[in-house]
Amino acid sequence: MQRSLCFKIVDVLLIIGAVLPLVFGMILKILFNPASEGISISGALVYFTIPMPLQNLPITESQVNSALVVITIFFLCLYFTHGLSVKSNLKRQLIAEWIVKQTQSLVKTNMSDYFSGFAPFVAAIMGLSAFSSLLALLGLYAPTSDINIVGGWAILVFVLITYYKMKCGPLHYVKSFGDPVPFLSPLNIISEVATPISMAFRHYGNVLSGAVISVLVATGLRGLSNIIYSLLPKALERVLSNLPILQIGLPAILSIYFDVFSGCLQAFIFAMLTMLYVASGFPEEDYFARKAKKLANLKK
Amino acid sequence: MELAIGIILGCCALGAGAAMIAGIGPGIGEGNAVASACEAIGRQPECKGSVTTTMLMGCAIAETTGLYALVIAILLIFVAPNMLVNILLNAVK
């Protein structure tokens, strides 16, 4: 099937739209953070601050990078769904259909039928988290290794959980704290507050520990290659000492585990926990009993 | 003054090391989880997919306590020394 020229031009534009934010992020990183000799572990760079009445609002690297990831995912979605048709032989349509089918089956197995509309949200949170972690492969600061970003997502999930717990009215929600015995309600409140904290710390700690270990290994390998050079004769040492032999490929092996595997796994776990918490927080039987009662009252 | 700053830095490092003793717990827990998952797969190889998914979930939740310790250790190494030294300097002024 021959595609028209216009279709191809739109394709190319969409791919450029997906790649351009990443290039922009790299340029921003190079402009604000020139390459230095020493390897250091630091938090997100502050690009500039906006004066605000209560407190100055710093615009950091992680905020900018997560916005760039959002733009990239937006254009990727447009690219995958470009030229959708019932009788299609496009490979990208198969990929898009596979993604949708997988998330829908995941939501169906982990949540009840009431939450069948939850699949887009789960896919969005999974994609955002996975792409944010994978950003470290490009040498950019991964937004997920900043607690503020992940904490924001965790608070969003906490609001959702509370919303679904309140579906039966605020009284039912307050009653649920004294569940086995009212005497245990402080513990219930603590476990309620611990949910977003543990979700945020789990994701952020995993990604950050990977980054810290990678930097430590790179520093250690640099020291090791310096020791090897000092064993060589003086003339040879002067020529070779600028050549990083050990730290050129070995840290990449660690990166496969810490950035690719761990990042994708944490995205999956974050989405999975979101589904489990929301589904378990929703008092389904009480809700439907209440709804049936209301309907019966209306009929009278 | 140098002695006080030295004590602050040293104690922060010692505290970070002591906090990571908590890594023992998740290590044992995850080891148990994976051992049981291997047994389950050996007994019923056809449900390998669902066992692996459940095991990864369980491992992630068991890891939480270790990650709390990790966050505290990172705070002690990268954040606490600056803060405490600033407090000391302000107090001396």
Across the interface, whether the CB atoms of A201 and B67 are under 8 A apart is answered yes
Higher pLDDT, A241 or A217: A217
Grade residue A34 by pLDDT with cuts at 50, 70 and 90.
low
- State which residue of chain A sits closest to B59, comparing Cα positions: A269
Residue A39 lies inside a defined structural domain of this protein: no
Which chain B residue lies closest to A40 (C-alpha atoms)? Answer: B78
List, in order, residues 6 or more apart from A109 with CB less than 8 Å away. Answer: none
**Interface membership of B63 toward A (CB under 8 Å):** yes
**Does the residue A141 lie in any domain?**
yes
Domains defined for chain B, CATH in brackets: 2-92 (1.20.20.10)
Assess whether pLDDT exceeds 70 at residue A2.
Answer: no
Residue B86, chain A, CB below 8 Å: the answer is no
Structural domain tally of chain A?
1
Domain that holds residue A243: 87-299
- Let me know if residue A154 belongs to a domain: yes
Confidence band, pLDDT 50/70/90 cuts, at residue A37: low
Is A43 inside a domain boundary? no
Tell me which chain B residues have a C-beta less than 8 angstroms from the C-beta of A205: 67-68, 70-71
Query: Distance between CA A106 and CA A156 in Å, rounded?
Result: 21
Per-residue pLDDT tens digits for A110-158 = 888 888 888 999 999 999 999 999 988 888 888 898 888 999 999 999 9
Q: What are the pLDDT digits (tens) for B11-57?
A: 999 999 999 999 899 999 999 999 999 999 999 999 888 898 888 88
How far apart are the CA of A278 and the nearest CA of chain B, in angstroms?
16
Distance from CA of B42 to the nearest CA of A (A): 24
The dihedral formed by the CA atoms of A37, A39, A40 and A46, expressed in degrees to the nearest 10: 60
Is position A173 within any domain? yes
Whether residues B71 and A268 touch (CB distance < 8 A) is answered with: no
Residues of A in contact with B67 (CB under 8 A): 201-202, 205-206, 209
Amino acid code (one letter) for A166 = M
For residues A87-104, average pLDDT = 87
Alpha-carbon torsion angle A173, A174, A177, A178, nearest 10 = -130
> Which residue pairs, CB below 8 angstroms and at least 24 apart, start in A77-82?
A78/A14, A78/A17, A79/A11, A79/A14, A79/A15, A79/A18, A82/A7, A82/A10, A82/A11, A82/A14
Identify the burial level of A109 via C-beta atoms within 10 angstroms of its C-beta, where 0-12 means exposed, 13-18 middle and 19 or more buried. Answer: exposed
Instruction: Say if the ipTM goes beyond 0.85.
Output: no
Closest Cβ opposite residue A205 in set B56, B57, B71: B71
pLDDT for A36 equals 62
**B67 contacts A206? CB cut-off 8 A:** yes
> Mean pLDDT, to the nearest integer, of A62-71?
92
Q: Which of residues 2-61 of B touch A (CB under 8 A)?
A: 56-57, 60
Contacts of B88 (CB under 8 A, 6+ apart): B4, B5, B8
Q: Which residues of B touch A263 (CB under 8 A)?
A: none
Residues in A lying within 8 Å of B, measured between beta carbons: 41, 43, 198, 201-202, 204-206, 208-209, 212, 265-266, 268-269, 272-273
- Does residue A165 sit within a domain? yes
- Once rounded to an integer, what is the mean pLDDT over residues A254-261? 87
Is 70 exceeded by the pLDDT of residue A40?
A: no
Q: Look at residue A8 in the predicted model and tell me its pLDDT.
A: 87
Specify the pLDDT at position A218: 82
A287 in a domain, yes or no?
yes
